[in-house]
Amino acid sequence: LDSKRMAPRKLSFALTLLAGAIASVMWLSQRPVAATSTYVRAGLSRVGATRSSHRLGGGLRGDLRSQSNFNGLPLMRMTTSSQQKRNLLGRASLSTVNSAAVATPQKVDNSAKAKELLDSVDTIIFDCDGVIWKGDTLIDGIPETLDYLRSQGKTVYFVTNNARKSRAGYKKKFDSLGLQISPEEVLSSSFAAAAYLDKANFKLSGKSVYVIGDVGIGEELDLLGIPWTGGPADMGKTIELKSGYKLEHDSNIGAVICGFDYGINYYKIQYAQLCINENPGCLFIATNLDALTHLTDAQEWAGNGAMVGALKGCTGKEPIVVGKPSPLLIDYLVSKHGLKKDRILMVGDRLDTDIVFGNENGLKSCLTLTGVTSEQKLMSPENKITPDVYVDSINAFRG
């Protein structure tokens, strides 16, 4: 009798558990998937901050709003909107793009598609390496394409993750390749690193910066009056492997900036890790995490991700990343020039930096196949980063 009375209760309890499980699955499936990249996590473990996103608001001239401070220096946050959320809310794309949950990018390969794309934007931001040039070699047809875009009333900017040169240095490179641009049309990650420290009022701390990188970072720091050491001056420096030897470092270093450095050596890595690990509050800033770069047009070369990876390995800390896809540079352009994000097209050759930069910051995105990404890689089932459109080269914009 007791077992007969308990049976309905057991069935009721089981049904209640099943209903709860179904409700939980439905709730989880409706939640947007937040991006969990290095750019979001930068610096959080050091200050015990939450994982909530926080953007560098109002551009570089606006107020720096941050929920956490690291010894008085605000840390930048990356927006955590995901590509899934963009698909649900409606992506900025051509009207004929596949509207499936995972959109298939449309190739712009005729004049009609090119016109439709250009009619949807006012401003075009180009990456440089692999888009405009490879190494020191200009990609065929680029001058004519840039002239055409300007004749159509488009505003053009160039944003590069390569920190080897300052903005002035890149202006000289454009000039040497026969491309006429104004200094305000080019932004580099070397500028972004210096601007980040300037926005954080780093100079008021009385501390100095140690630089791993080329002349560009130092030139940008000089323009802002921020003291620094290292850079090309430490190329060729060595250590001594003998009993009792230790490498002395400046305890007043308050930030380490790691940019691409073809003269990287053990001395620089050791000096930087001492600053980061032993100087209280020392910031670890990376200009970018690019795995590969274009030093020459003959092959791909290890990028700044290799240098940053060495420092991550010996410090156990994540850097604050200021180059693409961080929002710092786009926020600066939007704030300074009054641009509308939904009328901006980001064009680049890297899925994980250029296209993510466009997608995560509310821009239209276009991948060009003249750089590190092939059409096969773009269409691979393993690739989860989708541009709005793609082209064989930016010459396709001429139709």
Residues assigned a catalytic role: 122
Q: Where are the alpha helices (DSSP H) in the chain?
A: 2-29, 38-41, 44-47, 83-89, 111-119, 142-151, 167-176, 189-199, 215-223, 266-278, 304-315, 328-337, 356-360, 375-379
Instruction: Return d(Cα 257, Cα 227) in angstroms, integer.
Output: 12
Q: Bridge partners of 208?
A: 253
- Picking from 383, 349, 338, 343, the residue whose alpha carbon sits closest to that of residue 362 is 343
Q: How far is CA 268 from the centre of its chain?
A: 24
DSSP state of 55: B
Phi, psi of 9 (to 5 degrees): -65, -40
Spatial contact of 145 and 398, defined as CB atoms under 8 Å apart: yes
Instruction: Return d(Cα 387, Cα 102) in angstroms, integer.
Output: 11
Token reading at 120: 């949807």
- Picking from 304, 389, 295, 390, the residue whose alpha carbon sits closest to that of residue 97 is 389
Contacts of 159 (CB under 8 A, 6+ apart): 125, 126, 127, 186, 187, 188, 324, 329, 330, 333
Instruction: Return d(Cα 293, Cα 372) in angstroms, integer.
Output: 8
Phi, psi of 339 (to 5 degrees): -80, 155
Burial (CB count within 10 angstroms: exposed 0-12, middle 13-18, buried 19+), residue 323 = buried
Phi, psi of 61 (to 5 degrees): -95, -5
Instruction: Return d(Cα 57, Cα 77) in angstroms, integer.
Output: 10
- Picking from 120, 99, 114, the residue whose alpha carbon sits closest to that of residue 386 is 99
